[in-house]
Structure 1
């Protein structure tokens, strides 16, 4: 029996090795193909998520710019006047106005704080909302369409030592922190703005005539308050 006869119907060993090698190459090729597909999909997904997040950030930044513009360009606020109440307290009136009433501006009535300079530090003094006149409840929300006034009562009696930037006058600062939104019930669109008002304030027990002579005030004598620019 010849060698050809004895091997008939059987695959030679070297052919079986070659087929196994080709089989592993096909499996490896398919595996690399699917790995490339998955990696490409993940890269595309990551890019899409990044682009979406960047769009959200950009939209949020634009929205905050609009809110800041509303707070600093649309809103006007300032100290109007200071008078003496019959009970010896100072009545402080602050006004606030929406310069563009065609655009809604919802405004939280602020709790204004008052400070007296004592030496190098600021000491807080009692300030409450007046219950008469232009009385508004701090914390209430209104649609600021017209100019409004806020009346406050401040006690500044009993302070013997205080810094006199202008001789004979107390140096007073008011902090007015306001919260604004274009929506009545905002979730996120809220912007904060703080104004500072400074005044020289005549003490309750001051000698008005002596102050007038010292500073050569004309007219009605020594004024009760003298506004100052922010500093």
Structure 2
């Protein structure tokens, strides 16, 4: 901001160069250009009006606008809210996590449920749990387990929506036991006398030695071949 003030300055304090319409005045090493009409000579020295004040009030207001930049700290707080989104990624649906260290069960690699074709499985007193995804379309089939000559014994197969659910606690249509062949019928739509699964959902095939109600056996290891006959 330009101050309209009058200054009486000693001739010894400045140098003046003139043009036709303006004067450039050097005061203490600083140049000031003012209209020639703003300079008048008196007995006490020279009177000058319209010299810019070196205190620069305008610059000061500019610094104040910098406080507005400080509002960017608020943006930083917004980024911090992203931690909430991150915490959502901590929920895990893996077989082992869902099982939670429950004794007597052991998660195995996922299986391609509808592609089982005389696939050999080990059967032990420990319940092996195989995650799989039910077919996404409305279909049905029969899961057939045939024993081998390696330590034949009773064995139990059952399907549950979570790992670690005992065979005796699932829908009776979703569990089967047998010494020779054992067959479990399943569907991805509602129908009586079948194990009904939701299309595209995750389920767990459980398998162990023994019957549905009794896991005790003198046999500790056996084998079975499983085929899934899809209609």
Give the TM-score of the pair, scaled to structure 1.
Answer: 0.31
Which of the two has greater strand per residue?
Answer: 2
Max Rg structure: 2
Q: Which has the higher contact order (CA 8 A, sep 6+)?
A: 2
Give the TM-score of the pair, scaled to structure 2.
Answer: 0.31
Which of the two has greater helix per residue?
Answer: 1
